Structures are given as C-alpha cells and as structure tokens.
Structure 1
C-alpha cells in the first residue's frame, strides 16, 4: 500500500473509531486525534528513510489501539515512539506539545556545515530537543542542563534508552550566580525560577544554580536556551566572562514577565558581542496585558 493510501486509511479509521468508541470523552478524542496526526507526520516526514518509518508506524498503530480500547485514558503510560526513538514523558499532553514545537514546527532547526557540531542545550526538559539535534546531526556533541528532578530523571532515561553518544547532562539551573533557588512549576515544561502566577508558588522544589560560563571553553556551534525567564541572566554571565566569543548561533525562547522587563538589556549584550538577530512571535492583536509572553530570538555572528 502506498504512503498516501496508508495516511488516508489512518485518518478515516481514526474518525470512525472516535465516533464509535469514544463519544462523550472530549479529552480522549483530542488525545487520539493528536496521536493520529503524529502517525501521519511520521509517515510523511521526508527526512526519514522509508524503511525506517515502518517500526515506528507499527509501534504507534499498536499503541493507538491500546489507547482506543482502554477505559482509563488519563492514566495510561506516556511512552511514545517517533523516528525510531523511544520517548518517556510526564504526560501525553506534554509529549504532544513538545512534539508539535520541536518535530513538526521545527523551532530548533538549524543548518551547519560542521557535521560534528558542539551543541549546548539549556533547559533540556525530558530531552526532546536533544533527540531532535541528534536526528539532525548524529555525530554531534551535546551538553544538556535541566534542574527539575522529575524532568531530569526522564531526560536521563531517554538518553540511555536511545543510546545517545557524546551527550552529557547536568541537573543544574543556569543563572548569573551560584545559589539555591525555588523552581516553580516543577515537573512541567514551564518550570521557572520566576513566578508571576501566585497559583504556582506552592508547587516548587529547591534547586542549585550554576554558571554556563564554567562549561564553555571551546567553539559552540549552537546555544539553545529555553529556561522560562532565566535567559537574560545566562547571557549576562557569558558576557561577563567573555564566553559569547565562543558561540556561533543562538536559538532562544525569550520569556517576558511583568516583574522583569530585560529584553533591551539582552539585545544590547548581543549587539555588543557582534550578533545579528531575528525575533519571531506568534502574538496577534488585540494585544492584552498578560502575566507572561514568549517569543523566539535567533541570533548569529555577523
């Protein structure tokens, strides 16, 4: 059967199964609809060789039917297979969100001439970004940082289960000084040392911060930063130690909080260190006063 016919069959069967077996559970319908979209994405992704699509496809179809006939969709184990990677996650919702951003929208995609790039990943979460980088550059050397206990344990398992070489991870938050802090929203993709939301202040763990400048002593092909508000602190540390000279490209998810307005500081540091940059946002009018906003900054040496 051709790829197009297989995709058509998957989508048709998904609609039939949802209408027959899951009529009243809206959350379960969303979950299985998202899962069918992943099956489609994995079948059509041009970067994947055809023969390498089959194992993931078979595994995902099997899992789809396990979910379909389960009576407890909320507590099913969140194990997902994509691109021949086996990925453990906290929840299925978390997996779909990260998959959409990293593998579908390719927000961390970059093109390098170096086939063995050195990549530093600040805010590795459960490791989806590291897996994406390894998919692009299998011979890359990667340093990953993740402060949350829950996320770090999954990150470690995902690296071990997928036998990733030249990958080191550190259970550290990154800042511009070494200290103990509260990490709010621990165990989620939104864990942050900054909390503008009073409802998140009861959910925290004590973490240790470190300086990224202590880990950078050679050329970095890509610095990826997604640290839910600590971006400026990290860049300030690198600037104070003259370590931005080692960095070629930066992909940063910048988080703006109402209590900290430091975008101008961050951009001035990049400009001072001879970086050009592009800012990408999905914000649309009408604009509202929000507790937090985020957008991407893509910076590169001139």
Structure 2
C-alpha cells in the first residue's frame, strides 16, 4: 500500500466514511483513495470493478467513485411513484449507473435511455447485462431539438458533449453522430425525466416546453460554459411555466473563490454546475 493510502487509512473520518457508505457498494479502498484525494487524472481506459457483487466495466476511477456516491449513496435520483411500473427517460446514461439504480428501486419500470458516445454506450450495455437488466432500452444517440446528425466531442468518459464544429481546437476530434428529438418522446405520462447532457439542456428544454406537462418529476443538471452567457433564468422560467416547483443544489464546486477565480478562467469548462430537482406540488 502506498504512503498516500496508508495515511488515508489512518484518518479516522475518511476510513469511517469509506466503511459506512462506500465499502458496501463494492468500491475498493484503492479506488476510494483516488477519489478522496481528487485525483481526476486516473485515465479513461476501460477497466473492471465490482458494483454490488457484479463485475462491471468503467473508466476514470475518480468519476466512477463520484458517480457511485452520488447515485447509490446520496440517491440524487430517488423519487416515488403511484405506479409500480413507472416510465423513466434518462438522457445521458453514461456507463449505466443511473439505469441500474432506477431498476434496483423500481424493478418493473419501463426505462428508455440515451447515450451518444459509442464506447460509453457499449460499456453501458455490458453493465446492464451484468445485472440482468436486459429489458432496458438504450439508444446510441444524443437527445436534441431535432432529428438528424450532429457534431459530438467524445471523451470516453462522462464529459462528451454536442459542439459547434467551428469550435477552436476540437474540430479534428469531433464525430458526426445520430441525434433524436426528445420532444417526440414526451407524448405520454413520464414519471421521471433525467437530462444530463453537458451544456445542451436549455436548447432541448426550449423545444420540449409544450410537452413538459406529461412529466411528473424532472431532473436537470445545468451546465454553464464560462465563455457563454448564463441562461439559468430562462431554464427555471420554462420549468415554472410548465407547473413545476424546483429545488437547486450545487452539482460541483467549480470555484472556491468566485470573485477571484472568474478573472483567470480560460479554456473549455464550466463556471457553474447545478442539480435542479423539479416536481409537481
């Protein structure tokens, strides 16, 4: 065991948190160390881990542990339904952890998921198979405001996003992928709609606003690219006009000292990420 991991093991608070909250999920102590020390540069090569005694595939260790904590420990997608077979649409399923969570909590749920990154999509299918959840429909496509092809910048992890092909520095890495209009799927009661699509949420929500009355519970992760105007107010207006109340919490601590750090922000990235929970009341 490295000196870093030995030191962490001796920290009572850290050890307590790992044992109480994460050990039961299958996360190893080594994986937890990479996460605890915020070692985001753990590579995006596909490897294997255990999740609730099932062998699954995953990539970057930091984001894998962070996602397990967020989804299975903090349960950010927890909801109740008066149906024993709720209909769930998940936009941005990544390696399938959210789908696994939904199915574990709602075994009879009808679930439709979308994942645009082909490599991540295949990893997701593998993980659903490991859990025996082969009745979940997952499409290898991006959700968007229209059907067709769209420019997509993959990262073989959770940061792949729709881009303008003219964006400086990314053109050679951009792929053309299939896109589907989400609004066409919002034609019936949807018990839970999750939208986590790395900065394209407002474009999609604008197009969907006439059908949001079909949605009972809505989760949106809002991403604010630092170089573009912030559009949170419009997003919240769409939710309010669709009859939702909402609750907001930080999805990530992008700036510890915003008054200072905003001055030197440069390059791709977000200055604000929020989890928005919208519900009928």
TM-score, normalised to structure 2's length? 0.77
Cα displacement (A) at 1:92: 2.7
1:177/1:209 contact within 8 Å kept: yes
Q: Which residue of 2 aligns with 1:86?
A: 55
- Any residues of structure 2 matched to 1:266-285 within 5 Å, and which? 266-281=235-250, 283=253
- Any residues of structure 2 matched to 1:1-302 within 5 Å, and which? 18=1, 22-23=2-3, 40-42=20-22, 78-194=47-163, 202-239=172-209, 242-257=210-225, 258-281=227-250, 283=253, 286-287=257-258, 288-289=261-262, 290=265, 291-292=269-270, 293-302=272-281
Cα displacement (A) at 1:153: 0.7
Q: Kindly tell me the number of residue pairs found equivalent between the two proteins.
A: 255
Distance 1:164 1:35, change over 3 A: farther
Q: Which residue of 1 aligns with 2:39?
A: none
What's the CA shift string for 1:131-172, capped at 9, x where partnerless? 111122122111100000111110111112221153100011
Distance 1:155 1:92, change over 3 A: same
TM-score, normalised to structure 1's length? 0.72
Q: Which has the higher mean CA deviation after the structures are superposed, 264-273 or 217-226?
A: 264-273
What are the ranges of 5 or more consecutive residues in structure 1 without an aligned counterpart? 1-17, 46-55, 65-72
For 1:27 and 1:130, how far apart are their aligned partners in 2? 32
For 1:186 and 1:260, how far apart are their aligned partners in 2? 24
Q: Which has the higher mean CA deviation after the structures are superposed, 105-114 or 261-270?
A: 105-114
Superposition CA RMSD, Å: 3.5
What's the CA shift string for 1:187-234, capped at 9, x where partnerless? 121111147995655533221211112223321111011100111122
2:87/2:192 contact within 8 Å kept: yes
What are the ranges of 5 or more consecutive residues in structure 2 without an aligned counterpart? 33-41
What's the CA shift string for 1:170-196, capped at 9, x where partnerless? 011011123322222431211111479
